[in-house]
């Protein structure tokens, strides 16, 4: 099927055209990051207003970039949740209107489901696999039995990994979103210089906690003149990043070992982090585990990733009607569509 996909869950207005849930013909992302940076974080009202303004052109660009007209589109997949209510409503409303006007099948896709299946746009991975989804709003470990069948193994008890990167960046005076800047500064830093805590590292669960690590960085900044010492700033970024990655890598491989599964997928915006990619690759090589991480442009928010589950559902006749609503909270385990549970 030739799908048009639409993503507006947070601060990126995105649309893509994808064939058969595998071949990306276009993948347009209009970022609002600069407009939110002055406020130090995403302002929900501004996000929905900007989605409204950007979405017609973004969809037009996606069609033009794929060299197809709307007449050629055979179905629409849209992010239904989780995300910001007003932002999600823009995408779902546009998708419903287009599907109704064109009499096209429509399916609402879970944003996290999109993230963890983005890898299929680049390569196949056999089921089952362990997925670590690390983004601005999520830090979750899942066992993925197939598209649509997910079991949550663990999750953060407080901040998400991306949130921790962004909060640490903010307290270091770096602009929003700071994750990528921490990554950049850490490249020239000593990750062993400051011993930060590794919360819940050996608690036996697959849960995460990042607020204590963030507080440890805050306490360090209060006691040391980081802003006067460029090398100390770089060492601090590297040391924080090493602590966060240690926990993410260790727990993910523990989950795989416990489940007896030798395939791991890492997804979400924080999967762009160079240290996380490197440490995951080293751990996988040492244990003989298969590791798959999408290219950075498919890790951060985009619409093409929705086409993997979108095509899977629509090609099996699983669709939503015009009553499709936005789901601000939508745990993956709740997806269990009857049709999928039956195999």
Query: Can you give the binding site for ligand KG4, defined by CB under 6 A?
Result: 10, 135-137, 162, 165-166, 177, 179-180, 183, 268-270, 272-273, 300-301
d(CA 238, CA 153): 28
Alpha carbons 9 and 112: distance in angstroms, whole number: 11
The pair phi, psi for residue 23, each rounded to 5°, is: -100, 115
* Distance set, CA 249 to CA 23, 208, 278, 331 (Å): 30, 11, 10, 23
Q: Which of residues 292-311 bind Zn ion (CB under 5 A)?
A: 301
Residues with Cβ within 8 Å of 323's Cβ and at least 6 positions away in sequence, in order, are none
Q: Residue 270 binds which one of Zn ion, ligand KG4, none, with CB within 5 to 8 A depending on kind?
A: ligand KG4
Residues 80-139 that bind Zn ion (CB under 5 A): 135
DSSP label of 36: H
Minimum CB distance to ligand KG4, residue 174 (Å): 10
Q: Which of 18, 10, 82, 83 is nearest to 51 (CA)?
A: 10
Cβ distance to ligand KG4 smaller for residue 180 or 247: 180
Q: Is 11 in the site for Zn ion (CB under 5 A)?
A: no
The nearer residue to Zn ion, 135 or 252, going by C-beta atoms, is 135
Minimum distance, C-beta of residue 341 to ligand KG4, in the bound complex (Å) = 27
> What's the rounded Cα separation, in Å, for the pair 240 and 295?
24
Query: What does 300 bind: Zn ion, ligand KG4, none (CB cut-off 5 to 8 Å by kind)?
Result: ligand KG4
Minimum CB distance to ligand KG4 smaller for 91 or for 268: 268
Which residues are 26's β-sheet partners?
17
Residue nearest to ligand KG4 (CB): 269
Taking the complex as a whole, the smallest distance from the CB of residue 140 to ligand KG4 amounts, in Å, to 12
Q: Which does 272 bind (CB under 5 to 8 A by kind): ligand KG4, Zn ion, none?
A: ligand KG4
For position 163 contacting Zn ion by CB under 5 A, the verdict is no
Closest distance to Zn ion from the beta carbon of 79 (Å) = 9
Asked if residue 35 lies in contact with residue 46, where contact means CB atoms within 8 angstroms, the answer is yes
> Residue 11 binds which entry of Zn ion, ligand KG4, none, with Cβ cut-offs from 5 to 8 Å by kind?
none
Minimum distance, C-beta of residue 110 to ligand KG4, in the bound complex (Å): 12
Give 63 or 116: the residue with its C-beta nearer to ligand KG4: 116
With binding defined as CB under 5 A, does residue 320 bind Zn ion?
A: no
Distance CA 262, CA 304 (A): 27
| Cα–Cα distance, 238 to 171 (Å, whole number) | 15
What are the distances in angstroms from CA 41 to CA 47, 178, 204, 211, 260? Answer: 11, 10, 34, 17, 40
Q: Scanning the structure block, which residue is given the tokens 């440490």?
A: 279
Contacts to Zn ion by CB under 5 A: 135, 301
């Amino acid at each position: 099927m030739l799908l048009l996909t639409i993503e507006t869950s947070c601060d990126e207005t995105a649309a893509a055209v994808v064939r058969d849930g595998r071949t990306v013909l276009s993948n347009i992302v209009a970022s609002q990051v600069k407009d939110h940076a002055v406020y130090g974080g995403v302002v929900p009202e501004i996000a929905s207003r900007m989605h409204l303004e950007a979405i017609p052109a973004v969809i037009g660009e996606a069609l033009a970039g794929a060299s197809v007209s709307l007449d050629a589109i055979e179905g629409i997949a849209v992010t239904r949740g989780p995300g910001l209510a007003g932002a999600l409503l823009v995408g779902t409303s546009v998708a419903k209107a287009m599907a109704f006007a064109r009499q096209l099948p429509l399916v609402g896709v879970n944003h996290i489901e999109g993230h963890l299946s983005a890898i299929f746009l680049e390569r196949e991975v056999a089921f089952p696999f362990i997925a670590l989804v690390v983004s601005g709003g999520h830090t979750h470990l899942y066992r993925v039995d197939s598209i649509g069948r997910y079991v949550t193994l663990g999750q953060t008890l407080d901040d998400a990994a991306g949130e921790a990167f962004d909060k640490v960046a903010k307290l270091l005076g770096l602009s929003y979103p700071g994750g990528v800047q921490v990554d950049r500064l850490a490249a020239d830093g000593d990750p062993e210089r400051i011993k930060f805590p590794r919360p819940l590292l050996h608690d036996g669960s697959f849960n995460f906690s990042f607020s204590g690590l963030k507080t440890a960085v805050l306490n360090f900044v209060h006691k040391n003149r980081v802003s006067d010492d460029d090398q100390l700033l770089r060492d601090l970024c590297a040391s924080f990043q090493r602590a966060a990655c240690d926990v993410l890598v260790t727990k993910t491989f523990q989950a795989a070992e416990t489940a007896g599964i030798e395939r791991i997928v890492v997804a979400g915006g924080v999967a762009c982090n160079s240290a996380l990619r490197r440490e995951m690759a080293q751990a996988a090589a040492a244990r003989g585990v298969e590791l798959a991480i999408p290219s950075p442009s498919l890790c951060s928010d985009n619409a093409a990733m929705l086409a993997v589950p979108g095509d899977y559902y629509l090609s099996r006749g699983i669709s939503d009607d015009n009553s499709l609503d936005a789901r601000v909270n939508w745990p993956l385990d709740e997806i269990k569509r009857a049709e999928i549970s039956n195999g």
